[in-house]
């Protein structure tokens, strides 16, 4: 059975190669993708594994799975060089079992790599991505989608980093006890922190110390600017598009695009129709419009791919699953993008951002972990105990080491 699946995958590759022979832009796209890894910032296949199979991988074969946007033959046809798999759990789990569920999503990514070692290589660094690419495997990284997954714990953040998590989306579609989410900008949710709380700023500093990418998809514009003000490392938007093309609050406005350029970060374009055209329908050209706009405003150095496959219900015509992504590359070439700019968007931009974060981490290696907890009153609820807090009305007071780190980050941000 496996041999038949492999044969089918190679047949799909042969068919796509024949199609490329008739389209010089596709021929060039596939050549560039053979030289530079396509790195996608966000894919929700792990959530589909939970919802469809309760994470029982023994009950599913990713070679033949046909109920998702992503499977192994589609990955091969789409030339997916590296993927940040999303360890996502819903906001309803906040204050309940968010940490446990998130750990289970991290676990399922590890087990997926172990079950299909010929396809996936677990990765935690820019070096790992290139190693996997040289082996013709998809580098598999993890991003945690939503700060509620931490239960407001810096210790949990550190442990997730040790388990391989390399970015944290600060919020999903709910406020945390320390950050406001994007729905605040729509008026649907109230602002609770005017962006980040004091603890939220502690968390940003600790992420810089760890070398964990800060993902600003899903946050308010206030949070975007506060993080860009203080982070010593470049940030990512793992799956967001251009607000000027589609004025949805999940997208990135032009003033932020310019700041992302100044701080050498990246905006990875989301393919969800509602964020592409602000309507139920979209097409390949509409997606390319976002790439063009981000490049025009912030430069080719801040553009990337963040398709959001298996996390959305509507995708553009022509981009129905991960196998179709080379079409975007061909369209950019058709629009006059240079090979250098296309390679930047494919993967070189993300590799640079990840490497820069690793460099900031290495520069802060002598800094102690921040062990000052969030004030108990900011997280008090019926599911939480107060062990360790001396009095219930006392909270986090910045230690001298934390204040020093915050000052160091602020000075670094001013001088870089």
Residues 210-218 have a mean pLDDT of 98
279, exposed or middle or buried, with CB in 10 Å at 0-12, 13-18, 19+?
Answer: exposed
Distances (CA, A) of 355 to 34, 109, 121, 136: 21, 23, 19, 21
Whether 390 shows a pLDDT value over 90: the answer reads: no
pLDDT digits (tens, 9 = 90+) for 20-55: 558 999 999 999 999 999 999 999 999 999 999 999
User: 229-243, 330-344, 395-409: which has the minimum mean pLDDT?
Assistant: 395-409
Whether 18 shows a pLDDT value over 80: the answer reads: no
Residues 313-340 have a mean pLDDT of 98
Residues 260-268 have a mean pLDDT of 98
Whether 263 shows a pLDDT value over 60: the answer reads: yes
Collapsing DSSP to helix, strand or coil, 402 comes out as: helix
Residue 356: closest CA among 227, 263, 278: 263
pLDDT digits (tens, 9 = 90+) for 122-173: 999 999 999 999 999 999 999 999 999 999 999 999 999 999 999 999 999 9
Pair of tokens at residue 407 = 């000052």
Whether 1 shows a pLDDT value over 90: the answer reads: no
Pair of tokens at residue 156 = 């949990």
Whether 259 shows a pLDDT value over 70: the answer reads: yes
User: 13-27, 305-319, 321-335: which has the minimum mean pLDDT?
Assistant: 13-27
Please report the pLDDT score of residue 414 as a whole number.
47
Please report the pLDDT score of residue 402 as a whole number.
56
Mean pLDDT (the chain, rounded) = 93
Write down the pTM of the prediction: 0.91
Residue 143: closest CA among 115, 119, 167, 121: 167
- The residues annotated with a catalytic role in the active site are 42, 44, 145, 172, 218, 239, 308
How far apart are alpha carbons 237 and 396 in whole angstroms? 29
Q: Where are the alpha helices (DSSP H) in 116-241?
A: 126-134, 154-162, 183-186, 198-210, 221-230
């Amino acid at each position: 059975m496996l041999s038949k699946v492999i044969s089918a995958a190679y047949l799909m590759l042969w068919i796509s190669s024949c199609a490329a022979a008739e389209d010089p832009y596709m021929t060039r796209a596939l050549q560039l993708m053979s030289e530079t890894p396509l790195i996608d910032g966000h894919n929700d296949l792990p959530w589909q594994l939970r919802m469809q199979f309760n994470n029982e991988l023994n009950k599913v074969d990713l070679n033949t799975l046909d109920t998702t946007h992503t499977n192994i033959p589609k990955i091969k046809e789409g030339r997916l060089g590296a993927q940040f798999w999303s360890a996502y759990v819903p906001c309803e789990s906040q204050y309940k079992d968010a940490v446990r569920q998130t750990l289970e999503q991290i676990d399922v990514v590890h087990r997926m790599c172990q079950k299909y070692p010929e396809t996936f290589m677990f990765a935690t660094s820019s070096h790992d991505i290139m190693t996997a690419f040289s082996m013709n495997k998809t580098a598999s990284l993890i991003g945690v989608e939503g700060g509620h997954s931490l239960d407001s714990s810096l210790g949990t953040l550190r442990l997730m980093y040790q388990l391989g998590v390399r970015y944290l989306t600060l919020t999903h579609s709910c406020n945390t006890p320390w950050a406001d989410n994007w729905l605040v900008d729509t008026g649907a949710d109230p602002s609770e922190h005017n962006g980040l709380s004091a603890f939220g700023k502690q968390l940003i500093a600790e992420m810089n110390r760890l070398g964990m990418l800060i993902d600003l998809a899903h946050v308010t514009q206030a949070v975007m600017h506060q993080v860009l003000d203080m982070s010593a490392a470049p940030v990512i938007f793992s799956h967001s598009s251009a607000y000027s093309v589609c004025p949805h609050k999940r997208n990135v406005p032009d003033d932020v695009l310019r700041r992302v350029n100044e701080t050498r970060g990246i905006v990875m374009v989301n393919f969800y129709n509602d964020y592409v055209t602000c309507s139920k329908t979209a097409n390949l050209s509409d997606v390319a419009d976002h790439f063009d706009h981000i490049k025009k405003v912030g430069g080719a150095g801040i553009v990337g791919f963040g398709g959001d496959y298996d996390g959305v219900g509507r995708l553009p015509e022509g981009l129905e699953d991960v196998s179709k992504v080379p079409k975007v590359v061909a369209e950019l070439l058709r629009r006059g993008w240079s090979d250098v700019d296309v390679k930047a968007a494919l993967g070189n931009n993300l590799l640079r951002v990840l490497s820069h974060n690793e460099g900031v981490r290495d520069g802060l290696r002598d800094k102690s972990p921040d062990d000052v907890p969030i004030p108990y009153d900011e997280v008090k609820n019926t599911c939480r105990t107060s062990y360790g807090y001396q009095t219930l009305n006392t909270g986090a007071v910045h230690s001298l080491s934390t204040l020093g780190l915050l000052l160091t980050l602020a000075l670094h941000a001013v001088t870089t």
